[in-house]
């Protein structure tokens, strides 16, 4: 059945948080069978808009029309009753329950269903929507991509006809993105409406029929067809200016005679949290003035590698040296000159109730002291100086970090860690959640740190990012380094093949 009206019309939605105008007079429409991309820089108001559509926030002004009727969406349960489902960035599943139990909690009458009947419904839905899930698996044992599939299936099984995906690809490996897009295509072919937030233009071009660009809470382009606009036009709409390509001069790694590498791992063996062997005979060195990339499918040992390098995880065997000093603890790694960008800053670096200034002192370095307390004036000065030098435009110093968007949290952590005079930088997924302009600036800063003589280790699943940044790429597979690729041989295929255990 083809509708002659949009599935969803957003008319002039507006929302402020105190002085912050998060969304101003935003309008867009989504038709059945349409994938609509919502794009814009960090803090542009995308999540706020989606949360108004899903009933989490109440708009100050504006209106929603769903399926041709004015809709009052006062809560997420109102939204679900209408047929609007949302998959949040932080997936809302209970890890200690199975897939079937999680779905039972979400669907009406689910907890009263017998297990057999529930599983049959899950299997039928998973077949219909092209979403392979194992209903018996414990959610805590699933990869992030598998959890996302469960969450989408859950949303569809509650009767959603409009599915909102808030930045679903930022936590996925490239193969998982392809799998997700196959699901989205399936939904499109079955006349669902899909709203998807992404920072990546190639994803907009691959998956979206139309797009809306937000900047500073306003829709600067609404309901456009992406193919009718160049990348430069879309970037300009998003950030208000053009963003230059990354320049990567060759590394100058001529170390003085006998100088130790910035980071040296030898014979490292290490267990994962679950007790299996996560790192096997790892031997690597990052020289001062060199940027080494680590490629690999998620879960190949990257997390453990970073933790071992930073003294956060004790290896079973082997040694870690930073600038020649053997390191056995996090404090020793910091003292030897390390700085780090954690894999998941929202989980690992945010202290609720602390503001931006409060987070800037959580870098493990001695605090500027004044009498018996902290010299906050000095902290504010160094924060302002770091913000200006790095140019990642952090949120205002008094803002609570837990209230910031994911990308804005990432910028606080990046500014804190990359403004240090560290001689080793270990950065896991540094551009995760960042908009285009901030991705570029972060990459420039990493190269600036390299050119200032630091050894830089960057873990990323984005091969294009690594190929643009790295002086060498080491590929991890199943806890081991499966190969080393030099710039002249950088190509997606040979790196991809090493990632899955094949030869380059």
Q: Which stretch binds ligand ATP (CB under 6 A): 41-49, 65-73, 259-267, 473-481?
A: 41-49
Q: Whose Cβ is closer to ligand ATP: residue 50's or residue 457's?
A: 50
Site for ligand ATP in 46-65 (CB under 6 A): 46-48
Task: Give 403's DSSP letter.
Answer: G
Give the DSSP letter string of 155-199.
Answer: HHHTT-SEEEESSGGGG--HHHHHHHHHHHHHHHHTT-EEEEE-S
Q: Give the Cα separation of 162 and 446 in Å (integer).
A: 40
By the rule CB under 6 A, 131 interacts with ligand ATP: no
Strands 162-165 and 424-428: unpaired
Which one of residues 135, 408, 415, 443 is an interface residue with ligand ATP (CB under 6 A)? 408
Q: CA of 100: how far to CAs of 142, 149, 154, in Å? A: 13, 13, 10
Which one of residues 26, 30, 35, 45 is an interface residue with ligand ATP (CB under 6 A)? 45
Q: Whose Cβ is closer to ligand ATP: residue 226's or residue 406's?
A: 406
Q: Whose Cβ is closer to ligand ATP: residue 406's or residue 479's?
A: 406
The token pair that represents 383 in the structure block = 């924060």
Q: How far is the CB of 43 from ligand ATP (least distance, A)?
A: 4
- Report which of 41, 478, 444, 122 is spatially closest to residue 300, judged by C-alpha positions: 478
Which one of residues 10, 13, 22, 456 is an interface residue with ligand ATP (CB under 6 A)? 22
Instruction: Name the residue with the smallest CB distance to ligand ATP.
Output: 407
By the rule CB under 6 A, 17 interacts with ligand ATP: yes
Q: Whose Cβ is closer to ligand ATP: residue 150's or residue 395's?
A: 395
- Collapsing DSSP to helix, strand or coil, 285 comes out as strand
Task: Give 36's DSSP letter.
Answer: E
Q: How far is the CB of 76 from ligand ATP (least distance, A)?
A: 15
By the rule CB under 6 A, 277 interacts with ligand ATP: no
Q: How far is the CB of 285 from ligand ATP (least distance, A)?
A: 35
By the rule CB under 6 A, 404 interacts with ligand ATP: yes
Q: How far is the CB of 257 from ligand ATP (least distance, A)?
A: 46
Q: Whose Cβ is closer to ligand ATP: residue 237's or residue 263's?
A: 237
Q: Give the Cα separation of 440 and 449 in Å (integer).
A: 14
By the rule CB under 6 A, 403 interacts with ligand ATP: yes
Report how many residues bind ligand ATP under the rule CB under 6 A: 18
Task: Give 366's DSSP letter.
Answer: P
Q: Give the Cα separation of 84 and 81 in Å (integer).
A: 7
Ramachandran category for residue 83: left, alpha or beta (phi over 0 → left; psi -120 to 50 → alpha): left
The token pair that represents 375 in the structure block = 């010299």
By the rule CB under 6 A, 135 interacts with ligand ATP: no
Which one of residues 406, 455, 479, 483 is an interface residue with ligand ATP (CB under 6 A)? 406
By the rule CB under 6 A, 169 interacts with ligand ATP: no
First and final CA of the chain: distance in angstroms? Answer: 49
By the rule CB under 6 A, 44 interacts with ligand ATP: yes
Q: Which residue has the tokens 């005979």?
A: 281
Q: Which residues bind ligand ATP (CB under 6 A)?
A: 17, 20, 22, 40, 42-48, 395, 403-408
């Amino acid at each position: 059945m083809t509708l002659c009206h949009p599935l969803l019309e957003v008319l002039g939605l507006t929302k402020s948080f105190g002085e912050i105008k998060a969304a101003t007079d935003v309008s867009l429409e989504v038709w059945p069978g349409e994938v609509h991309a919502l794009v814009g820089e960090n803090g542009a108001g995308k999540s706020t808009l989606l949360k108004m559509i899903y009933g989490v926030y109440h708009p100050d002004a504006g209106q929603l029309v769903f399926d041709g009727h004015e809709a009052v969406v006062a809560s997420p349960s109102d939204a679900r009753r209408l047929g609007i489902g949302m998959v949040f960035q932080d997936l809302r599943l209970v890890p200690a329950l199975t897939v079937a139990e999680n779905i039972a909690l979400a669907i009406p009458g689910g907890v009263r269903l017998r297990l057999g009947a529930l599983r049959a419904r899950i299997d039928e839905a998973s077949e219909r929507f092209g979403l392979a899930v194992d209903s018996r698996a414990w959610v805590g044992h699933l990869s992030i991509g598998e959890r996302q599939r469960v969450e989408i299936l859950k949303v569809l099984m509650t009767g959603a006809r409009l599915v909102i995906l808030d930045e679903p690809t930022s936590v996925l490996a490239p193969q998982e993105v392809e799998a997700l897009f196959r699901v989205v295509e399936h939904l499109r072919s079955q006349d669902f409406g899909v709203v998807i937030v992404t920072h990546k233009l190639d994803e907009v071009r691959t998956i979206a029929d139309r797009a809306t660009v937000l900047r500073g809470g306003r829709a600067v382009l609404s309901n456009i067809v992406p193919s009718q606009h160049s990348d430069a036009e879309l970037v300009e709409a998003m950030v208000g200016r053009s963003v230059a390509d990354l320049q990567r001069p060759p590394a100058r790694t001529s170390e003085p005679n006998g100088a130790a590498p910035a980071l040296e791992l030898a014979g490292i063996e290490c267990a994962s949290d679950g007790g299996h062997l996560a790192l096997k005979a790892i031997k690597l060195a990052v020289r001062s003035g060199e940027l080494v990339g680590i490629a690999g499918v998620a879960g190949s040992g990257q997390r453990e590698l970073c933790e071992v390098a930073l003294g956060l995880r004790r290896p079973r065997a082997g040694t870690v040296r930073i600038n020649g000093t053997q390191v056995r603890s996090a404090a020793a790694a910091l003292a030897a000159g390390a700085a780090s960008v954690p894999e998941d800053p929202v989980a690992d670096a945010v202290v609720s109730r602390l503001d931006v200034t409060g987070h800037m002192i959580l870098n493990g370095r001695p605090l500027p002291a004044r009498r018996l307390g902290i010299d906050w004036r000095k902290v504010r000065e160094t924060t302002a100086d770091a913000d200006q030098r790095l140019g990642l435009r952090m949120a205002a110093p008094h803002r609570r970090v837990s209230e910031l968007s994911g990308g804005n949290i990432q910028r606080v952590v990046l500014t804190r860690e990359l403004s240090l005079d560290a001689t080793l930088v270990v950065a896991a997924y540094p551009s995760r959640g960042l908009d285009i302009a901030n991705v570029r600036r972060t990459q420039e800063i990493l190269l600036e740190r390299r050119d200032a003589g630091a050894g830089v280790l960057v873990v990323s699943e984005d091969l294009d990012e690594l190929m643009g940044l790295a002086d060498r790429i080491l590929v991890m597979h199943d806890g081991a380094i499966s190969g080393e690729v030099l710039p002249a041989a950088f190509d997606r295929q040979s790196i991809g093949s090493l990632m899955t255990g094949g030869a380059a």
